[in-house]
Amino acid sequence: MMETMTSTTPVPLAALAALLADGTRATFCLALLDGRAWSAGELARHAGVAASTASEHLSRLVGGGLLAEERQGRHRYVRLAGPEVARLVEDLAAHAGPGAAARPATLRAASAARALAGARTCYDHLAGRLGVAITDALTARGLLRQDAGFALSDEGLSWFAVELGAPLPGGGRRPLARPCLDWTERRHHLAGTAGAVLCATALERGWVGRIGSGRALNVTRAGHEALARLLGLTGLAADAAPLPVRALSGRAGGG
């Protein structure tokens, strides 16, 4: 014990944390929480740094295993390396930003924040009031048990297969259901494979649609009908008023 710490510290935890300890890199990761691939230039503009700076940051993030890159022609597309990384960023962000989420600087930012609070993706699942409402409905119907952990019930499993028509794959390394702390609601919503399947299904069938380039969503008429029929969900907050699309891609924190 107590071997004196040599020049560079080989503490893996610190090396990983250092990747997220820079404002620009953190901004990148939060933006990538929408689950999609961004080009290097998009991220540079989003964070307000020079292309060269962004390039170096991206190399470090990729090298550290947090990001996966995909090169296409003269573009470098980059996305979170996987659900575990998304979870890590989410958790860290959730712990960091209790009060910080609600600090609308400009009018446009405030509108964007309102849209995000209504419905959004959180990496590959649904979040915001919509995500929490769905999670609550699943729980109220006995499909999801939250009283002694966080797991789908047998009825829940068959609900996915029969009612939703999207059976859950078994046996993957990823947990079928796990709680993810919702930033704006400060409650848990459904994540894991089940959350991803639900979100993908909703997008495929046009129940929700992307607003602008960010991760904000709106619930379509078909979505309202489907959610009412499948989960008895009614009275979801109306979509945010039509907004200039560009207002919705601002960074506003994580999951």
Partner DNA sequence: GGAACGCTTCGGCCGGCGCCGAAGCGTTCC
Partner DNA sequence: GGAACGCTTCGGCGCCGGCCGAAGCGTTCC
**CA–CA distances in Å: residue 58 to residues 26, 177, 251:** 11, 31, 18
Closer Cβ to DNA, 28 or 159, answer by number: 28
Residue 136: partners with Cβ closer than 8 Å, 6 or more residues away: none
Q: Indicate the DSSP class of residue 146.
A: -
Interacting residue ranges for a copy of itself, rule: CB under 8 A: 1-5, 9-27, 29-30, 45-49, 84-85, 87-89, 91-93, 95-97, 100, 105, 145, 147-154, 156-157, 170, 175-179, 192, 246-247, 249-251, 253-254
- The residue among 123, 119, 134, 130 whose CA lies nearest residue 248 is 119
Sheet containing strand 67-72, edge to edge, reads: 38-39, 75-80, 67-72
To the nearest whole angstrom, how small is the minimum distance from the Cβ of residue 29 to a copy of itself? 8
Residue 179: partners with Cβ closer than 8 Å, 6 or more residues away: 146, 150, 188, 189, 190, 191
Among 16, 35, 36, 59, binds DNA (CB under 7 A): 59
To the nearest whole angstrom, how small is the minimum distance from the Cβ of residue 114 to a copy of itself? 15
Check binding of 58 to DNA (CB under 7 A).
yes
> Which residue is listed with tokens 């009283």?
147
The partner in contact with residue 93, picked from a copy of itself, DNA, none with C-beta cut-offs of 5 to 8 angstroms by kind, is a copy of itself
Check binding of 208 to DNA (CB under 7 A).
no
Check binding of 49 to DNA (CB under 7 A).
yes
The partner in contact with residue 242, picked from DNA, a copy of itself, none with C-beta cut-offs of 5 to 8 angstroms by kind, is none
